[in-house]
Amino acid sequence: MIWWPSEIPTLQSGRYTLRAPVDADVTAIFEACQDPLIPRFTTVPANYTMAHALDYVQRAPASIELQRELPFVIEFGVGDEKEFAGVISLHTISIDNHRAEIGYWMDKKMRGQGIATTAVKMITGYGFDTLGFKRIEAAVDLDNTASQKLLLSAGYEREGVLRQRVTRADGSQIDMVMFSALNQSWARLE
């Protein structure tokens, strides 16, 4: 049985915080999404605007209510020294099948520090231990080797390649690598 929250919780582990997106995050989200790697490897549009960032923040309550997505902002630091690091979510929810998909992107200056790996472990643990999912999966662009390594280091397993799974804005079809974590076999965050 899946338990679904009525609002986005705050998850904390040391210097890592996952929390609800708020209006004050709009500028940081917009600025981070100007990095061409984010639209290259995610569904974020290449012409990302402030309106897109505002929509992302403002649709969070409806996403919870409709059980579509559980979006978080990733912060790194302590107290007043916390910095915006990126976003992460559980989405493509299948309550009946106890399954969700994880998605994330990191601000360019926050990459390579292990922040995303810890955020993946935190949201995966929450998805299993609190929400009751049995499977959490991630579909990663075949060319995004950094994200593939991140998922492996976070305890996910590579399952295979899904050919022509995603259509890009230019009409090209790309292959995605499927990763998953299963509740009964996933190593918990230490």
- Read off the pLDDT of residues 88-110 as tens digits, 9 standing for 90 and up: 999 999 999 999 999 999 999 99
Domain edges within the chain: 11-137
Ranges under pLDDT 50 in the chain? none
Termini Cα distance of the chain = 25
pLDDT, residue 79, reads 81
pLDDT, residue 184, reads 84
**What percent of the chain is predicted at pLDDT more than 70?**
98
- CATH architecture for the domain at 11-137: 3-Layer(aba) Sandwich (3.40)
Asked whether the whole model's pTM tops 0.75, one would answer yes
DSSP structure string for 79-131: GGG-EEEEEEEEEEEETTTTEEEEEEEE-GGGTTSSHHHHHHHHHHHHIIIII
